[in-house]
Structure 1
Amino acid sequence: MVIQNVLKINENLKPVIQMESLKYRLFTQYEFWRDIPEFANVSEKDFLNYKWQTKNSIYDQKTLIKTISNIASKEFIEAACQGFSRVPMAVRITPYLLSLIDWNNPWNDPIRKQFIPVSTQLIEDHPMLSFDSLHERQDAVTSSLVHRYPQKALFLALDTCPAYCRFCTRSYAVGQNTNIMKKGNFSVDSKRWEEAFNYIESHPELEDIVISGGDTYNLSAEQIKTIGFRLLQIPQIRRIRFASKGLAVMPMKVLTDENWLDAITSVLELGKKLYKEVALHTHFNHANEITGITQRAMQKFFERGLVVRDQTVLLRGINDTSEQMQFLIQRLSYINIQPYYVFQHDLVKGVEDLRTSVQTAIDIEKSLRGIIAGFKTPTVAIDAPAGGGKRSIHSYEYYNRKTGVSVYTAPSVRPGKYFLYFDPLHSLAENIRNAWKDPKQQQIMCDEALNEARKAKF
């Protein structure tokens, strides 16, 4: 009997995993930037200096063309120039990001797709898209504060970032004006900030503040402390989060801007003394964005006890397969970043080529369960259009995969209201794509979805 039990236990032993399946632990370590002719003679010391990265970031098409002229084809350069003339976000990309792009195949590179549009890949927008699909401006209670959820507010401290993502949900305000978009304004302004602080102080229900913009990476050390200290000293505030994609686009700032890192740390330490939570929310979309430099930056944060969570956007041709998303989640977790959300792409104009269907998000969510610890498994969510707030991707009241209309409710945010999301045209049959071009047919499809959603509620 004892021998039989031993044999049974041995039968349950799993084979040793091959290193091939653990590739997420391997990071780019070599001096990859030297592959770019413009950066071939840049030393590691300079490349890792955030001041050098900022000074040499690309802010216009002319500089972009000059930098990639020896590594990209004329066809690609022409398509990129035409692409920027048709999208809401201006050029802004760091040398670090530019160096991570595979210039042997830039057309299909997952980092290039996020920051450099090419006209040959842009497609017709769904007619229901807008530039402020989440209606943040309608929920703004001051020029820099959005109060949508009962206990949480979004503090928009500035309107610039170290790099501009094509798919930015705040393309209505972030960055410079473009051919198709004159931007709003929430630049750094102490008067604007004071209005926000006064509102927060006068609303005792507010406990949680997200500090965003723009990107808090672009705030100075003193500005970080000004905002962090002021918020933490408001009695009812229990949690603050600094939102920044900086870790993905310029991780060397954490390594070389000691004043900025110390400022974040001082806010964190004050939070501990006051028994309040301080965290950093960052934004990685593909595993290629995570390098040995990222790992070193995260080690700095980890040493100081700062919790870092990630919010990924689901992007077509970038991370919209189970394999790509699993690899990203595993790599993030390995360097102590907690995968927090995977968001369905917002209904933003100018980036229809990057949107996926709700069904794609559902399928990916299923594939993520079980590959890693539960607390490292992100919630796949949709930010319901028109101010409904964040909802689980599965929580729709109705989803017509034929017309691509899904309907969500938000009883704690907008009781009694319904919010419609629209799958991208490229995911629909040709006859349905044509139907969406007809305003009458649009109304019929929306009304049908709403009626079915109401039936499902009762």
Structure 2
Amino acid sequence: MKDSQIFNINELSNYLTSKKVEPELKADIFKGVKSNSMALKLTDHIVRLINWDNLIADPIRKQFLPLGSEYQPSHPQSKVDSLSEEKKQVRPGLIHRYPNKILFLLGTFCPTYCAFCTRSYAVGPNTKTLAKSYLTKSQTGKTDTLIDYLKTNVNINDVVLSGGDLLSVQPLIIDKLLAKLVTIKSLRSVRLATRGLLFDPNLFLPNTPLFEIITRYSEKFKQHNMELSIQCHFNHATEISSESQKAALSLYQSGVTIRNQTVLLDGVNSTIELQKNLIEKLISSGIQPYYVYQMDMVANAEHFRTNLETCISISKNLTGAFAGFQLPRFIVDLPLGGGKRSVYEYEFYDQKYGIYGFKSPIISGEKIYYYCDPLRYLEPHVQKEWHGKISVSELYD
């Protein structure tokens, strides 16, 4: 084990022993690792951020080392690929859901794996719980495909580069890709989606390859009336360490726009006060609060989901607490590829079955997409109905 990195169960066992973790809790952690759809992999920075003296309550531990006792059965409507990304691919790794923007999945690995990953179907190595769907095309081949696609679809003006995490992609590949993207005249924005400011913030400090690439191209994009920005991901104020804050402020002071997206996670950041603290920490770190996502209906991650009313209530109670441009938008990324909608934009709510119906006119006109609350929020007899294999199609179609 290098430094405090944890990449396998033996390293985890040794570390837990060194921290004098109780045998019963240790066994619960191992059970959680075996139940997880995502591989065990913790960077040195994540290991040092976890409060090993209060593991059960620690919000960072919960995201990366869920306990076996925390898992709950998935909602019958949950799916491994809850957003139907595989079906929406127009080329390997290229998802074109909205008319004028695309999502490009450059890599399939991350420095650390989040247990609630919405892309668990494809990200990271296989686990005992889940065999992954791999896109076999090389990164270089995929970047060529992206550029060709953009040249023949001039209506696209926004590209999100994601994965996996960009930290698992060689800086030279990122450099070459940005050099090509800056020449696409139809583009107006390119967003680098990464959780790297949490996983390994020192890689974003001045005099590092990533810092040099991002700041250099940020300036070049501006010269072409375009924006290159970072779309980061922090879920709790304690994740924004002094190192993360230093890296973010260095980028911000160099003219790079950084926007944060948060996932609402039960027991991690699911209160008004915790979200308020996070927003304040983001603002003081030169990061714009952007989105708070209602947790996707990802199979094998049910214990992370709240009901939608929790998300709506937090949003209502934070309105007015910050300047409007500092308040994140609370959204649902609709199952089956309906796209992002405000939590307030539902067409109906079936309180008995915990079902919200949304439309996404720009994507599919009058079609209804259904988001379902976790079963634990419903009456026991309704939970039994769901377990009896009812489906939304049976209820409404």
Normalised by the shorter chain, which TM-score bucket?
over 0.9
Which amino acid is the alignment partner of residue 367 of structure 1? N
Deviates more, 1:410-419 or 1:79-88: 79-88
- The offset of 1:85, in angstroms, is 1.5
Render the CA deviation track for 1:78-120: whole Å, top value 9, x for unaligned: 1111112122101111121122222222012110000002111
- Measure the CA separation in 2 of the matches of 1:223 and 1:242: 13
Aligned equivalent of 2:274, options 314, 324, 329:
324
- The offset of 1:161, in angstroms, is 1.0
- The offset of 1:193, in angstroms, is 2.0
Aligned equivalent of 2:321, options 342, 361, 371:
371
Contact 2:140/2:173 (<8 A) preserved: no
User: Which secondary structure does the structure 2 equivalent of 1:413 belong to?
Assistant: helix
- Measure the CA separation in 1 of the matches of 2:284 and 2:206: 23
Which amino acid is the alignment partner of residue 6 of structure 2? I
Q: TM-score, normalised by structure 1?
A: 0.83
> Matches of residues 397-412 of structure 1 in structure 2 within 5 Å?
397-412=347-362
Render the CA deviation track for 1:202-238: whole Å, top value 9, x for unaligned: 1111110000001112222211211112112112111
Does residue 1:350 correspond to 2:300, yes or no?
yes
Partner of 1:162: 111
- Measure the CA separation in 1 of the matches of 2:122 and 2:6: 20
Shift in CA distance, 116/220, structure 1 to aligned 2, threshold 3 Å = same
Aligned equivalent of 2:13, options 45, 56, 65:
65
Aligned equivalent of 2:88, options 126, 139, 154:
139
Unmatched runs of 5 consecutive residues or more in structure 1: 1-37, 39-51, 452-458
> Matches of residues 305-344 of structure 1 in structure 2 within 5 Å?
305-344=255-294
- The offset of 1:192, in angstroms, is 2.2
Contact 1:144/1:193 (<8 A) preserved: no
Which amino acid is the alignment partner of residue 247 of structure 1? L
Partner of 1:198: 148
- The offset of 1:447, in angstroms, is 4.6
User: Which secondary structure does the structure 1 equivalent of 2:366 belong to?
Assistant: strand
Partner of 1:250: 200
Partner of 2:221: 271
- The offset of 1:402, in angstroms, is 2.6
User: Which secondary structure does the structure 2 equivalent of 1:436 belong to?
Assistant: helix
- Measure the CA separation in 2 of the matches of 1:189 and 1:219: 9
> Matches of residues 186-265 of structure 1 in structure 2 within 5 Å?
186=135, 188-255=138-205, 258-265=208-215
Render the CA deviation track for 1:423-447: whole Å, top value 9, x for unaligned: 11122221111111112xx23x655
Contact 1:155/1:209 (<8 A) preserved: yes
- Measure the CA separation in 1 of the matches of 2:81 and 2:162: 16
User: Which secondary structure does the structure 2 equivalent of 1:148 belong to?
Assistant: strand
Render the CA deviation track for 1:390-421: whole Å, top value 9, x for unaligned: 00001000112331111100001111211011
> Matches of residues 378-389 of structure 1 in structure 2 within 5 Å?
378-389=328-339
Which amino acid is the alignment partner of residue 156 of structure 1? L
Partner of 1:48: none
Does residue 1:84 correspond to 2:25, yes or no?
no
- Measure the CA separation in 1 of the matches of 2:310 and 2:79: 22
Partner of 1:152: 101
> Matches of residues 171-186 of structure 1 in structure 2 within 5 Å?
171-186=120-135
Aligned equivalent of 1:122, options 63, 71, 74:
71
Equivalent residues, number: 395
- Measure the CA separation in 2 of the matches of 1:344 and 1:336: 24
Which amino acid is the alignment partner of residue 161 of structure 2? I
Which amino acid is the alignment partner of residue 341 of structure 1? Y
- Measure the CA separation in 2 of the matches of 1:161 and 1:306: 23
Does residue 1:284 correspond to 2:234, yes or no?
yes
- Measure the CA separation in 2 of the matches of 1:146 and 1:400: 31
- Measure the CA separation in 2 of the matches of 1:68 and 1:75: 12
Which amino acid is the alignment partner of residue 84 of structure 2? H
User: Which secondary structure does the structure 1 equivalent of 2:86 belong to?
Assistant: coil
- Measure the CA separation in 1 of the matches of 2:393 and 2:266: 24
- The offset of 1:257, in angstroms, is 6.1
- The offset of 1:256, in angstroms, is 6.7
Does residue 1:432 correspond to 2:382, yes or no?
yes
CA-based RMSD of the aligned residues comes to: 1.6
User: Which 4+ residue blocks in structure 1 deviate beyond 3 angstroms?
Assistant: 445-448
Shift in CA distance, 273/256, structure 1 to aligned 2, threshold 3 Å = closer
- Measure the CA separation in 1 of the matches of 2:271 and 2:127: 32
- Measure the CA separation in 2 of the matches of 1:104 and 1:216: 32
Contact 1:158/1:186 (<8 A) preserved: no
Deviates more, 1:130-139 or 1:255-264: 255-264
Contact 1:229/1:270 (<8 A) preserved: no
Does residue 1:421 correspond to 2:371, yes or no?
yes
Shift in CA distance, 330/79, structure 1 to aligned 2, threshold 3 Å = same
- Measure the CA separation in 1 of the matches of 2:206 and 2:111: 15
User: Which secondary structure does the structure 2 equivalent of 1:305 belong to?
Assistant: coil
Larger radius of gyration: 1
Render the CA deviation track for 1:49-105: whole Å, top value 9, x for unaligned: xxx77xx53221111111121222211221111112122101111121122222222
- Measure the CA separation in 2 of the matches of 1:91 and 1:190: 27
- The offset of 1:245, in angstroms, is 0.5
